[in-house]
């Protein structure tokens, strides 16, 4: 699916709208009711089913940089707005986000005490995706570049699959016995949906898109080392200029922009979770100069690393 095909949902939100101002689809109410007894802490929390996380927040968050691991994000209540390059991606009740690649982007959350953010995240298991793709009819290759991140309409099939998965989370035995099958149902529905092409190409590894995916995987494994565009292009078996063009077309940022943002996001996680000092965090993510790291960190996040 091309970026142009996601334009119905890649839209700017109306200015000043409250979270609850937009009519909520009936299934969103059902999903929110099913999720509410399960959530406790803020942010993402694990469940008894591997690869399934709950999403919960009692307050909104202004536009901030982050990165999602590949997966499906279904928001039942509240609202999220993603900013990727020039694209504005709205994903709230009534649609779901398919994140095929880990892309640094910016996100705004709309929620409050009366209407907390509620949702569920289902990670992509490469083995399960591969098994499903092998058993499904081949997709039609129309030559268009798939969108690695897009919101699409939550149709009746996906709605029921997600509800069945969330209902399963209320019973420990059901999680253990039925959980993997319920996850498989969701992934199958996603493969048959508008973003199925982007997921199939992840598995089939064909064309320019697959070469960029391979380069991204290498970059994520070696982000703390000295990487150049030429190194990444060689991994993709492409010229540096050709690689730069296709990388930016896929991720909406140049290879070096992507690398810098990934390093800074990794550093923020280290500083927040491990209470690591700034110099050590800078070194761990590949910076040789702590002062340069501090400048770039503050420019990206708006606060110095010692406070962030």
Region 94-106: what's the mean pLDDT? 93
Q: What percentage of the chain has pLDDT greater than the value 90?
A: 69
Give the number of C-alpha atoms closer than 13 A to the C-alpha of residue 138, restricted to the C-beta side: 5
Q: In whole angstroms, what separates CA 114 from the centre of its chain?
A: 26
Positive/negative CA dihedral, 164, 169, 171, 176: positive
Nearest CA-CA partner of 300 in 263, 275, 273, 272? 263
What's the pLDDT score for residue 291?
A: 96
DSSP state letter for 50: T
What's the pLDDT score for residue 12?
A: 37
DSSP characters for 117-169? EEEEEEE--HHHHHHHHHHSPPPP--SPPPPSEEEEE--HHHHHHHHHHHHHT
What's the pLDDT score for residue 202?
A: 79
C-alpha to C-alpha distance for 39 and 118, rounded to whole angstroms: 8
* Helical ranges in 172-305 per DSSP H: 172-191, 196-204, 207-221, 229-235, 240-251, 255-273, 278-284, 290-301
Region 130-146: what's the mean pLDDT? 75
Three-class SS state of 1: coil
Region 236-253: what's the mean pLDDT? 93
What's the pLDDT score for residue 201?
A: 80
What's the pLDDT score for residue 274?
A: 67
Q: Is the confidence at residue 113, as pLDDT, over 90?
A: no
Least confident of 112-126, 194-208, 210-224: 194-208
Three-class SS state of 274: coil
C-alpha to C-alpha distance for 130 and 141, rounded to whole angstroms: 18
Taking only the tens place, the pLDDT of each residue in 159-214 is 999 999 999 999 999 999 999 999 999 999 999 998 988 888 878 766 788 889 88
Taking only the tens place, the pLDDT of each residue in 14-71 is 333 344 445 556 667 899 999 999 998 889 999 999 999 999 999 999 999 999 999 9
What's the pLDDT score for residue 25?
A: 63
Domain 205-301 has CATH 1.10.3470.10: no
Q: Is the confidence at residue 109, as pLDDT, over 90?
A: yes
What's the pLDDT score for residue 136?
A: 85
C-alpha to C-alpha distance for 150 and 132, rounded to whole angstroms: 21
Query: What integer best gives the mean pLDDT of the chain?
Result: 87
Q: Is the confidence at residue 275, as pLDDT, over 70?
A: yes
Give the number of C-alpha atoms closer than 13 A to the C-alpha of residue 131, restricted to the C-beta side: 9
Q: At 38, list the tokens.
A: 């399960």
Least confident of 82-96, 97-111, 206-220: 206-220
Region 126-145: what's the mean pLDDT? 78
Q: Which helix or strand (DSSP H or E) is residue 52 part of?
A: strand 52-57
Q: Is the confidence at residue 2, as pLDDT, over 60?
A: no
Q: What is the arrangement of strands in the sheet containing 52-57, beginning at the earlier edge strand?
A: 43-46, 52-57, 117-123, 71-77, 95-99, 149-153
Domain boundaries, the chain: 3-202, 205-301
Q: Which CATH architecture has domain 3-202?
A: Sandwich (2.60)
Task: Please classify residue 71 by burial: count the beta carbons closer than 10 Å to its beta carbon, then call 0-12 exposed, 13-18 middle and 19+ buried.
Answer: buried
């Amino acid at each position: 699916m091309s970026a142009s095909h996601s334009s119905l949902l890649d839209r700017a939100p109306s200015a000043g709208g409250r979270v609850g101002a937009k009519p909520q689809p009936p299934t969103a109410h059902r999903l929110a009711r099913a999720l509410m007894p399960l959530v406790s802490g803020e942010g993402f929390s694990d469940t008894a089913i591997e690869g399934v996380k709950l999403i919960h927040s009692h307050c909104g968050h202004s536009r901030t940089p982050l990165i999602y691991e590949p997966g499906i994000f279904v928001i039942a209540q509240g609202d999220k707005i993603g900013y990727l390059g020039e694209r504005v991606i709205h994903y709230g009740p009534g649609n779901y986000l398919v994140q095929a690649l880990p892309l640094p982007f910016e996100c705004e959350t709309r929620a409050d005490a009366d209407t907390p953010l509620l949702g569920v995240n289902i990670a992509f298991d490469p083995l399960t995706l591969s098994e499903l793709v092998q058993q499904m009819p081949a997709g039609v290759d129309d030559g268009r570049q798939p969108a690695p991140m897009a919101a699409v309409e939550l149709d009746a099939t996906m709605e029921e699959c997600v509800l069945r998965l969330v209902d399963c989370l209320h019973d420990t035995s059901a999680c253990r016995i039925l959980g993997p099958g319920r996850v498989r149902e969701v992934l199958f529905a996603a493969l048959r949906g508008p973003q199925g092409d982007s997921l199939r190409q992840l598995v089939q590894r064909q064309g320019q898109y697959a070469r960029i995916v391979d380069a991204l995987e290498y970059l994520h494994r070696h982000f703390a080392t000295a990487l150049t565009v030429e190194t990444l292009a060689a991994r993709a078996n492409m010229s540096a200029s050709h690689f730069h063009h296709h990388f930016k077309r896929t991720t909406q940022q140049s290879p070096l922009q992507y690398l810098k943002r990934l390093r800074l996001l990794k550093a923020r996680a280290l500083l927040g979770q491990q209470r690591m000092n700034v110099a050590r965090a800078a070194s761990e993510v590949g910076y040789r100069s702590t002062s340069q790291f501090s400048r770039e960190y503050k420019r990206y996040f708006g606060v110095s690393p010692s406070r962030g």
